[in-house]
Structure 1
Amino acid sequence: MMLRRSLLCATLTGFAALQVQALTFTTEDYPPFNMYEEKKVVGISTEMLQEALKRAGMTANFELLPWERALNMAKTKADTCVYSAVRTPEREKLFKWVGPLTADQITLFAASKSNITLASINDAKKYKVGAYNGDAYGDYVEKQGVKLERVVTDTQNLPKLTSGRIDLWVAGANSGPYKAAREGLKGAIKPVLAVGDPKDSQMYLACNPGVPDDTVKKLNDAIQSIAKDGTAGKLGTKYK
């Protein structure tokens, strides 16, 4: 009888551990870091997390969603994390953090034919500036006193910018041109101002507080090992 109980407890403990590690990672379309291609979620951050999971001996389901929905799932579901999330003061206590995974300098873009020049973020206040809902880069620019026109998904901003419905677009230095090229608008936009401290652009995996500390530690250790052995640098080369 004692043997049966011991075996049952061991089985239940092992099952519980598997349940904890069966995480869900939500994300948005933010190329080249996270995106949907060939019926799967790919990108630099995605591959870093897949490698981290492998090294940590864990598994996760990856889901690509509109950003606000992806973020909200990580806020409300105990087994869920979201990426690539900027670690802002407002978000700090809402999540447990893994990373940083990567960074993408906050940048204001104009249409290539535009004559707009900006000496500082204050100069952007007189223009129509586009961003999207829930985006931390947009939040940063808005805090500088720039009024924003928000849309649901970021790709909606590209036709608005090239058609003159907005004058400037808040995007990442790498992600902006990548999105434009993917939408058939390569060369149609140009950067006019990089803003913010580099740490304002760092992106992480943000986990619900219900994710165990040990799980977060294992993932952080794996991410650090990926950075130290040069794997992180190699992962990004095929997305350039």
Structure 2
Amino acid sequence: MRLIIHSLIFLLCISLSICTFAKEGIEANLLAVANNNQLLQYYENGENKGPSIEILQAILKEAQLDAKVEFMPWVRAFSIASNKPNTLILSMIKTPERESDFHWLIKVSNLARVFISLENKPENYVDNLQQAKQKLTAVVIGSAGYSELTEQGFSEKKNLYVVSDGELMVTLLENGRVDLVYGDPVNIQNILNKRGETKVAIRYKEIGPENERSSYIAISKATDVAIVNRLQQAARKFEKTAEYTRLLMQ
């Protein structure tokens, strides 16, 4: 009789665990926020595309979770992910200031941050911070790049022109409204290429270790720990696949 009772209790615990697992999946209501970036994640022809989107979809599938993806300016995406539980964010550079404010799930890209000028304006080329401080630089507000520059003494009142996204940075650079942009040269060149500006060449100092960055999919700190654990486990499993390696190299 005691064995039967123990068996029934065990089965009951298993049933409750299964129900709880399913319940978490139903009540998760995950939101994924991102800014439009043609190299990583973007919305086109009614579909979410890009390697970061594919990585997100893979770990969500493995974790048996769903998330609604919304594109918006970076500063709004960051604010929502910082304050709203169950919110994922793509693709965010990990910085010491941000590290403790999010759960970091998986790396989605390697990139760089450099001062970029137009090749046809050699007078604007810089190879150090002091030279850059004498120029007007466009940077995305609320970005890691914005934080880096302001920490180095750059100011909106003096030498920074803050914008909402990378597309506007490039427009200002093309039009001569700013001398420099601070961002990833591959992304800047990609924006120019998509505009058909094949004759517009950019120039920047050779990339060194101090310029290298990594971006991640992260999730808000206030998210239920059970959801975070499931996503982290799914991410660790996906990281071991050839598909992840392929997407990270794109």
Q: TM-score, normalised by structure 2?
A: 0.81
Match of 2:103 in 1: 96
Matched, 1:145 2:157: no
Matched, 1:124 2:132: yes
2:105 is paired with a residue whose SS is: strand
Larger radius of gyration: 2
How many percent identity over aligned positions?
22
Asked if structure 2 preserves the Cα contact closer than 8 Å seen for 1:101 and 1:223, the reply is no
2:40 is paired with a residue whose SS is: coil
Structure 2: runs of 5 or more not aligned = 1-12
2:89 is paired with a residue whose SS is: strand
Asked if structure 2 preserves the Cα contact closer than 8 Å seen for 1:41 and 1:64, the reply is no
The amino acid across from 1:205 in the alignment is I
The one of 190, 210, 230 equivalent to 1:218 is 230
Residue 145 to residue 228, structure 1, CA distance change in 2 (3 Å) = same
Residue 41 to residue 196, structure 1, CA distance change in 2 (3 Å) = farther
Give the C-alpha shift of residue 197 in structure 1.
Answer: 4.5
Match of 2:4 in 1: none
2: CA distance, partners of 1:138 / 1:232: 29
CA root-mean-square deviation: 2.7
Matched, 1:165 2:172: no
Give the C-alpha shift of residue 48 in structure 1.
Answer: 0.9
Asked if structure 2 preserves the Cα contact closer than 8 Å seen for 1:27 and 1:67, the reply is yes
Q: TM-score, normalised by structure 1?
A: 0.84
Give the C-alpha shift of residue 130 in structure 1.
Answer: 0.5
Asked if structure 2 preserves the Cα contact closer than 8 Å seen for 1:28 and 1:67, the reply is yes
Match of 2:220 in 1: 208
Residue 229 to residue 113, structure 1, CA distance change in 2 (3 Å) = same
Residue 212 to residue 189, structure 1, CA distance change in 2 (3 Å) = farther
1:100 is paired with a residue whose SS is: strand
Structure 1 stretch 54-63 or stretch 205-214: which is displaced more?
205-214
2: CA distance, partners of 1:14 / 1:204: 26
1: CA distance, partners of 2:37 / 2:77: 12
Match of 2:188 in 1: 176
The count of corresponding residues between Structure 1 and Structure 2 is: 233
1: CA distance, partners of 2:36 / 2:120: 27
Residue 164 to residue 34, structure 1, CA distance change in 2 (3 Å) = same
The amino acid across from 1:57 in the alignment is Q
1:49 is paired with a residue whose SS is: helix
Residue 211 to residue 162, structure 1, CA distance change in 2 (3 Å) = same
The one of 190, 195, 210 equivalent to 2:202 is 190
Match of 1:50 in 2: 57
Give the C-alpha shift of residue 194 in structure 1.
Answer: 5.6
Asked if structure 2 preserves the Cα contact closer than 8 Å seen for 1:121 and 1:195, the reply is no
The amino acid across from 1:129 in the alignment is T
Structure 1 stretch 96-105 or stretch 11-20: which is displaced more?
11-20
Match of 1:3 in 2: none
1: CA distance, partners of 2:34 / 2:101: 17
Give the C-alpha shift of residue 196 in structure 1.
Answer: 7.4
